[in-house]
Chains A and B, each alone.
Chain A
Amino acid sequence: MIRRPISTSIRTPFVISLLLLLTATPASAQKVYAEEKDSIPFFRGFYVSFDLVGAGMAMFTDYGQYEGSLHVNLHDTWFPVVELGLGRANSTEEVTGNHYETKAPYFKVGVDKNLIGNKHGPYRVLAGLRYAFTSYKATITRPNLIDPFWLYLDDYEIIDASCKMHWMEALVALDAKIWGPLHLGWSVRYKFRIFHKEGDFGQTWYVPGFGINSNSRFDATFNVIVDI
C-alpha cells in the first residue's frame, strides 16, 4: 500500500470544504437576495407615441407621413408594437416638370427590446425590428410633354397605378421621461425592401411609410410618447 504524505491527505478535504463553503449561501444571504428580486410586474401597461418629423414633413414639404404607434410594455424590457400611418406626396419637380401624387395608409408590426441596464429608470435605449406593408395608388403626370423630334405636345399620364410594398426596418431608439407620463425620444431606422410590385412602368417615387423609393434607406423619427 502506497502511503500518501500527510499534507496531501489534509489538503484535499480542505479544498473540497472551501469550495462547499464558497458555493453554499447562508440563510441570511438568501433572505437579502429575495428582498432584492425585481418586484416590478411583468405587464407594465401601454404607451402611445407620435412622430413629429414625418408630420412636419407632411405639413411643410412635398411628402411625409403622419405616424402613431401603440406599444405594450412588458417588464420595461420587451415592447411589442403596432404602428399605423398615413403617407402622402404631392410634388412637382421644377426642372423635369414631373408631378407625383399618392396618399395611402400603411402599417408596421414589430418588437423593441430595452438594452439599458436599469430597465425601470427614466431612460430607455431600444433596439427593434419592424415588418411593414402598404398598398397605394400613384399618379404620375408630365403635362405638355414635347416630343423632341416630332414636336407635338402630349400629356404623359400614369393614373392611379396600383402598387404595393413590403419592407423591414431595423431601428435604434432612445427616449427619456420628461414629466409624468410624458417621454420624448428619437429613433434611427434602416429600412430595406423585401418585395415590391409597381406594374410595368418602372418604379414609383414616394412610398407611404417607406419614403423615397429605393432598395434601402435611413430615416429618423422624433417621438412624443405618453404612458397610458
Chain B
Amino acid sequence: MRKLFLFLSAVLVISCSSVDCPFKNMVRTYYNVYDHKGALLQLPDTLTIFTKRVDGSDTILLNCGIGLQTFGLPVSYTRTEDTLYFHFYNNDYNVYDTVWIKKENYPHFESMECKVAYFHKLTEYSYTTNCIDSLILKNDKVDYDDQTTHFYLYPDTIRY
C-alpha cells in the first residue's frame, strides 16, 4: 500500500501541466557595425531607425541609439518587404538612408498558451548610400535565435 501511495504521488507530481513558451521569443534581425578595416565600430553618431505603419505614420524601431556596435530590429509578420529608415545624426548633421529588405514569411507555432510568431527568410535587399557605405547579408534565416548576426553594416568611410 505504501508503494502504491508513493507511485500515485509521483504520477500526480510528474503529470502537473506546465506552459513551455520559449524564453527568447523575439524575432529580430541583428546588425553589427564595422569600420572599413573590418573591426567592430562604435557608432559616434546617434542612430534612430523608423518605418512607416500601414496608415502612413512613422513608428520608431530603434530610438536614439548612441555608441552602438550591435543592434536588433523587429521584422514585420507577413509583409513581403520591409522599408527601414536609418537616421544618423549629431550636432553637425542629419543623414538619412533607406533600407529595403524582401523576405519570405513562415508561421511558427509553439503552443496554445504562447503567442504565435513568424520566422523569415531574407531574400533580397537594397539600400541608399548617404551614410551607409555598404550592407552585407551574412545570414538569411530569422527566428528566435538572438546570437546570429544577419547584417554587417559598414558606415561611410569618409565619416569614420
What are the residues of chain B within 8 A of A202 when measuring CB–CB? 108-110
B82's closest neighbor in chain A, by CB?
A150
B118's closest neighbor in chain A, by CB?
A156
Pair B14/A145 contact, Cβ less than 8 Å: no
Pair B106/A200 contact, Cβ less than 8 Å: yes
Decide: A151 near B54, CB < 8 A? Known: A96-B113, A157-B107: yes
Pair B113/A203 contact, Cβ less than 8 Å: no
CB distance from B25 to the nearest CB of A (A): 12
How far, in whole Å, are A98 and B116 apart by their CA atoms in the complex? 8
- Give which listed residue, B59, B113, B118, contacts A149 with CB less than 8 A: B59
Q: Which of A185-226 contact B (CB under 8 A)?
A: 188, 200-205, 212, 214, 217-218
Question: Is A100 interfacial (CB 8 A cutoff)?
Answer: yes
* Residue among A98, A148, A150 with the highest chain B CB neighbour number at 10 A: A150
How far, in whole Å, are A22 and B160 apart by their CA atoms in the complex? 104
What are the residues of chain B within 8 A of A212 when measuring CB–CB? 17
B15's closest neighbor in chain A, by CB?
A218
- Give which listed residue, A96, A214, A218, contacts B11 with CB less than 8 A: A218
A-B contact count (CB 8 A): 76
Pair A201/B113 contact, Cβ less than 8 Å: no
- Give which listed residue, A151, A154, A205, contacts B111 with CB less than 8 A: A205
How far, in whole Å, are A148 and B116 apart by their CA atoms in the complex? 12
- Give which listed residue, A91, A145, A203, A214, contacts B109 with CB less than 8 A: A203
How far, in whole Å, are A214 and B110 apart by their CA atoms in the complex? 11
Pair B74/A149 contact, Cβ less than 8 Å: yes
How far, in whole Å, are A217 and B55 apart by their CA atoms in the complex? 47
- Give which listed residue, B79, B106, B108, B112, contacts A205 with CB less than 8 A: B112
Chain B interface, number of residues (Cβ within 8 angstroms): 29
How far, in whole Å, are A29 and B15 apart by their CA atoms in the complex? 54
Question: Is A142 interfacial (CB 8 A cutoff)?
Answer: yes
How far, in whole Å, are A172 and B7 apart by their CA atoms in the complex? 11
| Binary B-proximity of A81-122 (CB < 8 A = 1, otherwise 0) | 000000000010101101010000000000000000000000
Question: Is A60 interfacial (CB 8 A cutoff)?
Answer: no
A158's closest neighbor in chain B, by CB?
B107
Pair B51/A150 contact, Cβ less than 8 Å: yes
How far, in whole Å, are A172 and B115 apart by their CA atoms in the complex? 37
Question: Is B43 interfacial (CB 8 A cutoff)?
Answer: no
CB distance from B141 to the nearest CB of A (A): 11
Question: Is B66 interfacial (CB 8 A cutoff)?
Answer: no
A-B contact pairs, 25 of them (CB 8 A): A95-B113, A96-B112, A98-B109, A100-B112, A145-B77, A145-B116, A147-B76, A147-B77, A149-B59, A150-B51, A150-B77, A150-B79, A151-B53, A151-B54, A151-B55, A152-B53, A172-B7, A188-B11, A201-B109, A203-B109, A205-B109, A214-B20, A217-B15, A218-B14, A218-B15
**Residue ranges of A at the interface with B (Cβ–Cβ < 8 Å):** 91, 93, 95-96, 98, 100, 140, 142, 145, 147-152, 154, 156-158, 172, 188, 200-205, 212, 214, 217-218
**Residue ranges of B at the interface with A (Cβ–Cβ < 8 Å):** 7, 11, 14-15, 17, 20, 51, 53-55, 59, 61, 74, 76-79, 106-116, 118
- Further contacts, 16 of them, CB under 8 A, given A96-B113, A149-B51: A93-B112, A96-B112, A96-B114, A98-B116, A142-B116, A147-B78, A148-B74, A149-B53, A150-B79, A156-B107, A156-B116, A157-B107, A201-B108, A202-B109, A204-B109, A214-B20
User: Closest 7 interchain pairs by CB?
Assistant: A218-B15, A152-B54, A93-B112, A202-B109, A147-B77, A151-B53, A142-B116
